[in-house]
Amino acid sequence: MKPAAFEYRRPTTIAAALDDLALDAGARVLAGGQSLVPLLNLRLATPSVLVDINRVAGLDEIAERDGRVHIGATARQAVVLSSDLVRTRVPLVAAALARVAHPQVRARGTVVGNLCHHDPASEMPAVALALDAEFAVVAPDGSPSSVPAADFFLDSFAVAVPAGGLVTGVSFPVAPPGTGAGFYEIARKAKDFALIAAAAQLTVAAGTVTEARVAVTGLGHRPLRMTAAEQSLTGGPSTAEAVRDAARLARGEVLAAVNTRSPAAYRSRVLPVVVCRALTSALAQLEPTP
C-alpha cells in the first residue's frame, strides 16, 4: 500500500485551490481521503498533484438558506449525520447517510467527496437525484455554476466537474410539511456499499400524495429516478396499497457490469421490493404515532 509519488498542496482559499489544480492536468482534489487514499495506495489512481481542500476556510458549513440545506465540501459525513438541521429539514439525507460506511470512515469522509467519487454502489447519489440536489461547481477560471443532480452523475466514477474545477457544496430542498422519508438498502454486510438501494420521499396533504420522489442506486452507471412510480402516486391516496401498486411500476435498465457480485437478474427481481420498502417506511413516518 505505497502510493506513487505526488506533490501535496494545502491551499486555504478557493482561488489558491484552483491555482494548485492548474499546476498539472493530473491534479486532483483531496477531501476526506476515504475513497481517494485507497485508490492511491492500490496505485489505481496516480495523480501528480493532490490539492487538499481541508484547510479552505468556510467550506464546512451546514446551513439553511432560501429553502435549501447547504452542505459544504468539507463537512464530514459524521457531522452531517448528527446535525439536527439535516435530520429535521432533509430527513432523507440522514436516513441514507446512516447506511454509508462505519463511524470511523464517516468521521473523516465528506458528503460532497462521496458524491464526487460517485461509486455506482453508493447510497447518496440516489438521494441527491431523488431530491433534485444542486451542486455548487467552480470552474478553473473561478466562475461558479449550479449543476442539478440530474446532470451531475455522468457515469460510474464520473461527475460533471470540469478538469481543474471543484465542488464547493451541495444543497437539498427542505422537506415540505407532511413529508416522510424512507431508505431501503440491500448490502452484503452491515454498513457496506449497496447491492441495490432505494430512496423515497412522500409529501402528503389531507390523505393525498402531493409529491413523490423515488430514486434507486445500484442498477446501472447512474442512479435512476423511478418516474412511473412517482407519477402513479402523485395525486392519489397515501395508502399502503397505492405504494405497492406504484412499486410494481419500478423499472430501469439493470447492467450486469456495474456490480459483478450481484447478478443483474437479482437486482431486477428485488427492484420493486426495495422501492416498496423505501416508500413504505416513508409512509410509516407520516402516520401519527400512536
Partner 1 sequence: MTVPEPTAGPTAARPKYVGGAVKRREDPRLLLGRGRYVADINLAGTVYMAIVRSPHAHARITSIDTSRAVAAAGVLAVLTWADIKDEAGPLPCIDRYTDSLPVLQTALADGVVRYVGEPVVALVASTEYGAEDALSLIDVEYEPLPVVVDLDEATAGTTLLYPEHGTNVMTTIAQDVGDVAAAFAAADRVYEETFTIHRYVPMPMETRGVVAEVDPITERLTLTTSTQFPHLVRGFLSGVLGMPESRIRVVAPDVGGGFGAKCEFYCEEVLAPLFALRLRRPVKWIEDRRTSMVASSHAREQKHTVRVAVQDDGTITAVDAQSWTSNGAAYCTLATTPASISSAMLRGPYRIPHYRARAHCVVTNKTPLAVYRGAGHPQAVLVMERMVDTIAADLGRDRVELRLQNMLTPAELPSDRGTAIVLAGQVVYDTGDYGACLERAAEMIGLSGDWEAEQAAARAEGRYLGIGLASLVEETSIGPYESAVVRVDGAGKVTVLTGSSPHGQGHVTTFSQLVADELEIDIEDITVLYGDTDVVADGVGTFASRSAAIGGAAARKAAGVVKEKALGVAAHVLEIDVADLEWRNGAAHVRGVPARARTLGELASAATAWNAPLPGGMEFNLEATYQHQAGGIAFSHATHAAKVGVDVETGEVTVLDYVVVHDCGTVINPTIVEGQVHGGVAQGLGGTFMEELAYSPDGQPLPMTLQDYIMPTLGDMPWIRTDHMESPTPLNPYGMKGAGEGGATGAPGALVNALQDALAPFGVNLTSDGPWTPDKVLALIPEDPA
For partner 1, the binding residues (CB under 8 A) are: 1-5, 38, 41-43, 102, 186, 188-193, 195, 260-263, 265-266, 269-270, 273-274
Nearest C-alpha neighbor of 215 from the set 127, 103, 279: 127
CA distances, 35 to each of 77, 97, 130, 227 (Å)? 13, 16, 23, 31
Residue 5 or 206 with smaller CB distance to ligand FAD: 5
Task: Tell me phi and psi for residue 73, to 5 degrees.
Answer: -70, -20
> What is the torsional sign of CA 258, 263, 265, 267?
negative
The neighbour count for residue 261, using CB atoms within 10 Å, is 9
CA distances, 25 to each of 44, 160, 180, 207 (Å)? 17, 16, 44, 55
126 touching ligand FAD, by CB under 6 A? no
29 touching ligand FAD, by CB under 6 A? yes
User: Which residues pair with residue 199 across a beta bridge?
Assistant: 183, 215
Contact with ligand FAD (CB under 6 A): which of 36, 95, 195, 271?
A: 36
Residue 179 or 262 with smaller CB distance to partner 1: 262
From residue 167 to residue 196, what is the string marking binding to ligand FAD with x (rule CB under 6 A)? x-----------------------xxx---
Residue 95 or 242 with smaller CB distance to ligand FAD: 95
In the complex, which residues of this chain contact ligand FAD (CB under 6 A)?
A: 28-36, 53, 73, 100-101, 105, 109-110, 112-114, 116-117, 119, 122-124, 161, 166-167, 191-193
